[in-house]
Each structure stands twice: as C-alpha cells, then as structure tokens.
Amino acid sequence: RSYTGDPMDATLGKEYAYSQIERGVDIIYAAAYLAGVGVYEACDESNILSIGVDLDQCWMYPDSMVASMLKNIGTGLILFLKNFVEGEIEPGSLYIFGTEVVGLCGMGMGGCASEVAKELVTTEIRDNIEAVSNKIIAGEIKVPGAFDWDSFEEMGKKLSQ
C-alpha cells in the first residue's frame, strides 16, 4: 500500500507508482483522484497493467488499463429517488445498492474501451464472469462487504435516533 497524502498531485502519484513498479508489481489499482492520472501514466510507460476507478477510465490508456471499478452513483441516485417517490424508502433506514446499480461485469466486452482487456479476457473468462454475476444477482452467491448486514442494520438504527 502507498498513500501520497495529496490526491491532487499527479506527479507524486506517478512517483509512487514507479516505486511500486520497481518492487515488481504486475498491476496497480489507484483510487487516487488526480494522483491516479500519474499512476496510470507510469503504468502505461512501464507496460504494467492498471485499474481505473469511479468511471470507465480505460479510454485514457486502452493498452495498459485493463478495467475500471465503477460506482454508478448517478444510477443509484435515480433508483433511490424513484423508490422514495413510490414510498418504498423507510425513514431512518440504510439503502444499500447492489447489482441493480452495478450490473454485470463488462471486462473485455464490446462496450469496454480497454484494448488490453479484450486481449487478456478470453471467452471462457467472460463466460465465467457472466455465470458468477448471474448467481450474485439471483442471490445464490453472497458477496461479503466491509461490514456484515447486522452491522448495517445496527448503524441504521443509531443514525435514525
């Protein structure tokens, strides 16, 4: 792990990425705001894979960025407001978004701007991703989070007091 202490400094992000690359990493996931741009640039220059964050950033470095972790906050907000208007939101409750916001993984598929993902993610891998994604959506696989569901409910009760 590395933290620059300044998420606005792309040069510092690049320096930190080079230090990780010198230590032999194969891939860097940078949740680093503008410092992430420096990380992605260092990865691209060093032929190291990177993972973007917040939105699909693969267009920036399609030959080295293999994927992006998407938050889809806009979709989540629209879904929340729709449920609020329809009276489906209870005051004081936590609203946790899941696969209805995130959807299926698109690594290496048509809408993905990553050229390297299209090369690395085979049909077999894509089929496995889709099969597991469908099991998550169907509730057959439970994805663990930072907190268990009881902790979320307890936190919701505290927040509503």
Rg (CA), the chain: 19
8 Å CB contact between 108 and 125: yes
pLDDT surpasses 80 at 158: no
- Residue-wise pLDDT tens digits, 34-72: 899 999 999 999 999 999 888 788 888 989 998 887 777
Global pTM?
A: 0.67
Single out the residue of 57, 39, 56 nearest to residue 48, CA to CA: 39
Which helix (H) or strand (E) element contains residue 19? helix 10-22
